[in-house]
A = this chain, B = another copy of it.
Amino acid sequence: MSDGASFTLGRLADALGASLVGDAGRVVTGVAPLETAGPDQVSFLTDRKYLKQAEASRAAAVLVPRDVAELPAALLQVDHPQQALIRLLELFHPEPAVQPGVHPSAAVAESARIHRAASVGALAVVEEGAVIGPRSRVGALSFVGARAVLGEDVRLHPRVVIQDGVRVGNRVIIHSGAVLGADGFAYAFDGRAHRKIPQVGGLRIEDDVEIGANSAIDRATLGETVVRRGTKIDNLVQVGHNCDVGEDVILVSQVGIAGSCRIGNRAVLAGQVGVADHVTIGAGAILTAKSGVPNDVPAGEVWSGIPSRPTGETKRIWAGESQLPELIKRVRALERRVRELEERRA
């Protein structure tokens, strides 16, 4: 999180593939939002609606879309400002290189295979037969269970739990407190007590997945729970046993997905959405915040509400609700008026 890097605008333009309008030799020492950037910092305009803030900014230079031409600051014009911003942040805040090696305080089983380019942090535990791939980092106080496998360039932040046999792909990032591979929640009532159904399946996390702090993804009863390539999961999310979460899915904080659901590629579940068991969410579907989803949602549609319905329908319901107390009075008035008409008629 430390700054310290500095670049000339010319060097930044090269790195970002940007057209520079301004002094190539000017030096900037950090990135900051438009409102807080100082005269030695570079800022960014990823959405034209902040043009006024950009005009008022004290930043030395602003990363802008190609068609933004006039600002007090120097301009770094690019095709895709948001992608360029990522590169800009990486330039000023490079990820420290992995320091290979096992911290002497870690407890690593003899049969665990730690790649010599991997690192295992202080007071971490790696159990029998676990495999840690090249350049992967096991954070301090993390637990990697027996026969679990981490691929290449995986980052476990401090205090992550990877249970026995869980398989994690490459370039996966897992934040502190996440628990991967706890037992699914499954019991059979035998007339006297809930008897636990053993959860003997696995959990597979594919490449380029990120999982947030204190989230929990359960192992399968049999077979595998799967989170597919490129999916991003926020903090405090629950994914039940035997779910198949597709590619490039977004699960926002506090989403809960019950067992055996299928979430299609590129679906987006906003904060606090809940999905009942055995539900299929189609590819690209969007569920807005706090939706409760008892049934399947078609691909590509936007749904909302409890129970969830197409968002247009739900919005009409929400608008109608506002009129409901008044509507009841109007119906009562109508009943009176109709009664009068009927009485006069009679």
- Name A's B-contacting residues (CB within 8 A): 1-2, 31-33, 36, 80, 82-83, 85-86, 89-90, 92-93, 103, 105, 107, 121-123, 125, 127, 140-141, 143, 145, 147, 157-159, 161, 163-165, 173, 175-177, 179, 182-183, 185, 187-190, 193-198, 200-202, 208, 210, 212-216, 218-219, 222-223, 230, 232, 234-236, 238, 240, 248, 250, 252-254, 256, 258, 271-272, 274, 276, 289-290, 292, 294, 305-307, 309, 313, 316-325, 327-328, 330-331, 334-335, 337-338, 341-342, 344-345
Contacts A143-B176, A292-B290 given; does A196 touch B210 at CB 8 Å: yes
The CA of A70 and the CA of B258, in the complex, are separated in Å by: 33
Partner of A197, one of B89, B197, B219: B89
Please provide the 3 A-B residue pairs with the shortest distance between their CB atoms, ordered closest to farther: A320-B324, A107-B122, A179-B213
Partner of A254, one of B161, B234, B238, B250: B238
Q: Report which residue of A107, A125, A213, A324 has the largest number of chain B beta carbons within 10 angstroms of its beta carbon.
A: A213
The CA of A194 and the CA of B229, in the complex, are separated in Å by: 10
The CA of A2 and the CA of B337, in the complex, are separated in Å by: 72
Contacts A159-B143, A194-B248 given; does A320 touch B330 at CB 8 Å: no
- State the Cβ distance, A231 to closest chain B Cβ, in Å: 8
A188 engages B82 (CB within 8 Å)? yes
The CA of A258 and the CA of B270, in the complex, are separated in Å by: 10
Contacts A36-B223, A328-B323 given; does A276 touch B248 at CB 8 Å: no
Partner of A89, one of B85, B182, B200: B200
The CA of A85 and the CA of B222, in the complex, are separated in Å by: 12
- State the Cβ distance, A162 to closest chain B Cβ, in Å: 9
The CA of A318 and the CA of B324, in the complex, are separated in Å by: 9
